[in-house]
Structure 1
Amino acid sequence: MHITTPDIGVDKATVAEILVKVGDTIAVDDSIVLLESDKASVEVPSTSAGVVKSILVQQGDEVAEGAVLIELAVEGQTAAPVAETAPVETATQAVAAEVKSETVETPVAAISSQVVDVQVPDIGVEKATVSEILVAVGDEIALDDSIVVVESDKATVEVPSTVAGIVDAVIIQVGDSVKEGVVLLKVKTASATPVADEVVAAPATAPVVETAKVEVAAPVAAAPKGAVEIAVPDLGVDKAAVAEILVAVGDKVEKDQSIIVVESDKATVEVPSTTAGTIKAIHVTLGQNVSEGIALVTIEAEGQAVAPVAQASVAAPAKVEAQKAVVPVQTASATHSADKLSKEQNAANSKVYAGPAVRKLARELGVVLAEVKASGPHERVMKEDVFAFVKVKLTTPQAAQTVAAPVASGLPALPDFSAFGGSEIAPMTRLQQVSVPQLSLNNFIPQVTQFDLADITELEAWRGELKGKFKQDGISLTILAFIAKAVAFLLKEEPYFAGHLADDQKSVVLRNEIHMGIAVATPDGLTVPVLRNPDQKSIKQIAIELGELSKKARDKKLSPKDLQGANFTITSLGSIGGTAFTPLVNWPQVAILGISPATMQPVWNGEGFDPKLMLPLSLSYDHRVINGADAARFTNKLTKLLADIRNILL
């Protein structure tokens, strides 16, 4: 038999937790799933006793009244069981000892299966190795069951299944290198499909009871309609600031139309609308810090429900007793208590695993949920945990603390300039503001800069021959493409320059791949997108990608992943001017190469001076990892590669 979603007082709710697994024996009223809505968290009880045969929902699914949750094998059930209807609860429902009706019409759900790909989630590293496969074809697995173990140089991680079902195929093998998005398994899952109505007749000898017909609509398939909240998606960072609001209340928007621009120290991202409709409310302001899940706007969606699939006609007793009506859930109170948390604390609470009721309680009591010890399944914070936390706080004497106001830069406060003509405040761009903490890390790096000159006369002549053909193909061939290729080649020979000082400061972390940061000047400041694996690409491929990254940076289209993972950086002044400079090492990297404009200079050949196009190089490095002699050797090798790029082919 099927256990379905009862009337939970809202149109739809999200499956927050599945409390049973296939094979469990459960009793009547045992909780089977936990549902969450914007009003309440509700544990749905089983209406029958038996053994869980299959679970037909997944964590994160949205369900409505009548949706099938689990299939139950009832003890003593016959081959053709009579389908049961979901209880109908109204304000005038009677609790009758026995109700025998002549006929009951109900939709019957058929079980269909589909094969779902289970992929590698974001495991915090570029790639990892499959060290153990924990399942085999034919195994029955539940949601969150561990399926494979992957290892990287950072950690060993058990990857959980995102679905429940039977393993249909194992795609990977032990020893395979995998990354986010790679398919691990194919799992056959079961789902409920409504079919034609059946009429089940009661025994002919059953006594006739006076009844009142109550029509209950079966679940319907509907397009999004009504108020829809658009929340901050996963940006790849803990928080970002609202840089621009692209819509106003009353505006009509299309699906995937950009509505908000957010900026972090890593990227500027446009957040799209997930539905079409009219902007009903805007919940954020310029400069506000937001994180994943924070509501941005409310949209009145333009959707229409389609015709219902089926209806059930349920017989209810004519004589009712209103005082015995059943109320399935408690809705949220209409009165809202004062919020005692700051926006930052509310943002932090949104990341903690807890239900809406617990979050509301935390707001009312001024509790930061990250400080509360969780006792629920999967480290879920329960109401009891919040009350226990508050009780400890109220009964534990607190020592008086005097905290001096921190100075962000470590420097004394600015003097008063009013006696010297006065001053005014000019705000920095958001990109400049978020760069301050990162640049301040350079205070802890003992940095040295090595200068050199590279003869690029022949290289520039070759580039001049090639750039006409490249231009016809829409490709801008700059000298930077050749430099990136030469540096990538050299980093394979000198891996310490692409490494990192380990946290214990007793060893160096050497990277397996080269990912090169390329500094790009934009109207808002300097940003550094990443060129992936330049050592494995041709100069033409590098030129194409440099053009694409530069355009995305200027158009504020860089994603968080475009800015992550670099282990060496090149920054160029182009044709702006200057003879040399000392670029700052970008922690956690240990080296950065600065390029100044090339100039024609006389170079002694032993008998006379030849005009040569000389390119100034400025290599800044972390002296804790790189020795001065190694830095001089690095730049010397680079000058030879640039003087004759054919050396890369040797």
Structure 2
Amino acid sequence: MQIMTPDIGVDKATVAEILVKVGDTIAIDESIVLLESDKASVEVPSTSAGVVKSILVTLGDEVTEGAALVELEAEDGSATETQKADASEKTSQNTPTILPDEDIQSELTTQSSSASAQPSISTLVDVKLPDIGVEKALVGEILVKAGDTIDLDQSIVVVESDKATVEVPSTVAGIVESVEIQEGDTVKEGVVLLKVKSTTVSAAETPVKTEQPETTQQPVTTESETEQESAAVQSGVIEVTVPDLGVDKAAVAEILVKVGDSVEADQSIIVVESDKATVEVPSSTAGVITAIHVEMGQNVSQGAALVTIEGQVKKATPAKNTAQATPATPVKAPNASVQSTAAPQAQNVSVSSNVDKLTKEQSAANAKVYAGPAVRKLARELGVVLADVKASGPHERLMKQDLVTYVKTRLTAPQAAPVAQATAEVPGLPKLPDFSAFGGVEEKAMTRLQQVSVPQLSLNNFIPQVTQFDAADITELEAWRGELKGNFKKEGISLTILAFIAKALAHLLKEEPYFAGHLADDQKSVLLRNEIHMGIAVATPDGLTVPVLRNPDQKSVKQIAIELGELSKKARDKKLSPKDLQGANFTITSLGSIGGTAFTPLVNWPQVAILGISPATMQPVWNGQSFDPRLMLPLSLSYDHRVINGADAARFTNKLTKILADIRTLLL
């Protein structure tokens, strides 16, 4: 069956984009081709369901009403019922046949029973990864599971590159048959993510509906049904709370809505950030914001109230269906009329879906840009302001490739915006003077990791920090390590002194829980953690990052050595997930063999202590009668003086030196 160009209100239009390819399975009313005239763009929907057998037009072709666009065939290879009906209709038009009244009634009864016998077709559709602007990405989170019922455009998978995270929407509605990928997989464009069982309207119903002479009343009926169903949806007051973010608390970084705003379900309303990650919190319902319960900079935890919304408990999906069906309705008008009707339509679509990631000002700017519906949809999904993208199409039309190029640039290039934000958060510093009279300057961008670290490091301005210095005799420990590391190396394990230090610290933190605690927000109590999660500072080409070693107190030195090697490799390869960076309550930072005698590490809030390790050196140590050469390891313990007293810190480092001097004490 061939899908023809409908009456789009102009004499001719240009094929601006082909939205399907040979082999695709498409449903009724699914857009297949984007046509544009001098003033407007229209997506042409398919009038039948099936598999694309061939595409009969190419980009840039000029088409008129009735021109063939694509050819479809049923998934089993047979002609569709719609095709048979069309052929039957053409035959009846060319060769009129007069039937007796009884025969007409019998024919209508047969068609009616055939239509009721096959109301729908269930197809298995592969949902694939679209072009997200990078060659490959990592599966960070899978948002659905087998058996889930999903909607069109519902987020199903979160993928992340080195610089950004993108939610991938479903291209079909139905029931998830199977999930074809796993968290941590590396995927690229075209990889199958899910198999979805989708139920589409049977082609057998199409002739019955299209032959009814009441087609001019159908849009009115649809709108009426939509209003009735929307009115039937129960309304109420809903309180949107903080979901489980994977961290104990996070700060409100941005409030995306205000009282009186209308929001859609799943629209982002609040941005919260922890030490290492930023998360957008979506609305769980559609409605009007009646109250906002948080302020900028406020710390929130799971279950805390964010906003109150008064409106629909359930999203009225028929309205979306009506909007999708609009382009299929023939519009006969001159060019000026097409402009006046198509432009508001594009604007309405932008406003209804765009607000989930863009502000009202950005949405208004998008509405002024000359771009087709497919490009606008992709921009809404990626949160891109179209006004920021340079157009390359005719009449300054924004093409899909322009958007892809822009997103790819944003994903791979360092962003300057966080620098301004980070600088604004540093209090008390004036602007730099003008250096032009002293030879000028050359500006070099900081790495992304350095930029996001600035606000975190600035928190040390509010911590009364003290550093306790000590030295541990690790002569015997290093000799033992030398005996063990040969066998470890054969197993591919690097046994460093850090593994022993982590084990000794984990043991000591069980005895001294305050060093692994947190100062409460009211500064009247200390929160003592039930588990030990140790941050290990790792130097990378982009800067310092701190992955977390989980429960070292429950692991052997060998297990710790293996995990330290894995974490270091993931950090250098930029493959750390947000969970790898969360939840630490004590940190170790080591200069290794780089050099130096001692340093003052900065407490990593909300922690209250951090241990710095400098290179070990051979030193003469008095034994009461003579000097012995001993391998001494410098230790630097920085701590928050509001929680830890100086005497406690001195006792802590002293205990640590004794454990490292004779690691056998861990067995006692």
Give TM-score scaled by structure 1 length: 0.49
Structure with greater strand share of residues? 1
Structure with greater helix share of residues? 2
Give TM-score scaled by structure 2 length: 0.48
